[in-house]
Structures are given as C-alpha cells and as structure tokens.
Amino acid sequence: MAERLDGTVALVTGASSGIGEAAARELARQGAAVALVARRGDRLDALAAEIADAGGSALALVTDITDQARAIAAVERTVSELGRLDTVVNNAGVMLLGPAVGAPVEEWDRMVRLNVQGLLYVAHAALPHLIEAAESEPRRVADLVNISSVAGRRATAFSGVYNLTKHGVNAFTEALRQEVTERHVRVSVVEPGAVGTELTDHLRPEIRETARQRFADVEMLHAQDIADAIAYIVTSPRRVAVNEILIRPTNQPGP
C-alpha cells in the first residue's frame, strides 16, 4: 500500500517542464513540500503558485546545476527553508543526437555537464541530508531517484554520447545503491522510452525532424506516466526498494 509523503520534503531538478514538472506536482499531491529547481524562473513561479493554490507547499529555486556551487546552494536552501530533505528526483537532462563524425563538440559537453556532472553535484550535496532523513520520522526512509533512459541500456547509432551519459547514470545509481541501502536510503533509476516532452526541442532542426519521424507512429508516454512511476517508488513502504523501472510506450518496439 502506498504511503503518503506528509511531513517530508522533496527536491526535483528540471522542474520547469516535462517529467520534472509532472513529478513535482505529483509529489506535492502526495503531501511533500517540494523544492522546484530549474533555470526558467517564470515557469517555476507558475508551478509553485499552482501547488500552493492546491493546498501544497513549493519553493522555486532558479538554479543551473551544472555549476557545483549553485547546485550545493539549492540543496542547502531547500533544507534551510523547508526544514529537511527526504526525496530527490534527479531529472534535469538534455538529449542532443546526431552523427559522431563532425558533431558539434559543444553538444557533447552540454550533455556531460548536465546529464552527468549536474546529477552528481546534486546527489553529492543531498546525500548527507537524505541519510539524516532516513534516521528520523515520519518515514525513516529516504529516496534518490535518477532519471535515465532506455538509452542507458543499449547503444544505438547517432546517440553515442547521450548513450554514454545515460549508461553512466545507470552505473552510478547501482553503485551508490549498494553503498547506502543498508542505511535506508533507496537509490533508484527510472528509464523512460519515448515521452511527449520538450526533450527533442533542443535538437538541431535536421536531426529533430528525423527523430520525430522515427516516432511518428508511436503513442508517446505522457510526463504524468513517469511521475506515476516515481510516486510508486517513493511512496512504497520502508521495507520495499524499487531499484529500477524501465517504462516504454506500448507500441515502441525498439530502444
């Protein structure tokens, strides 16, 4: 049976749209106070107001988590203003596809900075607080949920560096899980397939069109579908650790 998150605090990165926005809204619905972390302040303010209007509590933190100092500051401000930290959803990420030959190396740098380094900075800053929360009421368990991708399970042409970053997320998640699980900090990874979000908006125009044609006949997942999976993980009883969820559209046959 799911356990509500009343009296707990969650932090969600990439909360200004897509999976992050849906996850933040869902965690607030489950009773958590939510720190909303992203770069687009207007969207964060609108989401925070929506959560407050629904009776919840949200803190908008305009932050670029690829800057370690700013990632640390976001975590520390969450704890300072909301009182603790029980749940982290490391969702912020970017997908920049295309051939490796002649690729703009700046795109590779962006993916490594956000998908890997940003995720690591947030996890590193949050872990002491998650360990502390797992030792106290009301739930005596804490959760770090890293959002990866089906691209973290197999490599495909034209997504090599994106594959690299998401394989790295999967490996880090499992290694960290082994380190802290006996302290009742649950470390989980969610690997979505095709989701109807803004992720493809960052692709170069010629790559974007190819990607959209590839999934033209696929009934895409909604961001809320992934938020539901996240909620399942973090509302599970203390004795239950859901380590990995792979979730694809029903008619997505490939990676």
Active site residues: 162
Q: 226: helix, coil or strand? A: helix
Side by side, the strands of the sheet bearing 185-192 are 58-62, 33-38, 9-13, 87-90, 142-147, 185-192, 244-247
Burial label for 106, CB within 10 Å (0-12, 13-18, 19+), is exposed
Q: Which two tokens stand for residue 246?
A: 């792979």
Distance between CA atoms of residues 4 and 139, nearest Å: 9
Cβ–Cβ < 8 Å for 250, 17:
no
Cβ–Cβ < 8 Å for 173, 187:
yes
Helix axes 41-53, 18-29, angle to 10 degrees: 20
Q: How many of the other CB atoms lie within 10 Å of CB of 215?
A: 16
Strands (E), the chain: 9-13, 33-38, 58-62, 87-90, 142-147, 185-192, 244-247
Cβ–Cβ < 8 Å for 96, 43:
no
Half-sphere exposure of 17 (CA within 13 A, CB side): 13
C-alpha of 231 from chain center? 12
